[in-house]
Structure 1
Amino acid sequence: MANITEQFDHPAWLTAAGTLAGYGLILLFMFLLLFIVPYLLFPA
């Protein structure tokens, strides 16, 4: 098991995970702003 964790110990993996998390948060914010907020403001 220690062999697997050592394989992903490079700082590039942390950078990639941070980038994906950041993009995910931005996409979530945009989804809420563009779809959920108007749905709540203007109910059909």
Structure 2
Amino acid sequence: MGEGRPKGGHALAILPGLTHYNIFASPLLAAVVLAFLDEQQTA
């Protein structure tokens, strides 16, 4: 899931159906953040 991602430790994640009002209540946010952090540790 990281193909095409630019080097440098930054990424844009667009989570469908969520807004800045309800994104923190979504379990999808936690999954995306954890996947990003795990990838940063192994890189």
TM-score in terms of structure 1 length: 0.45
Bigger helix share: 1
Q: Which has the higher contact order (CA 8 A, sep 6+)?
A: 2
TM-score in terms of structure 2 length: 0.46
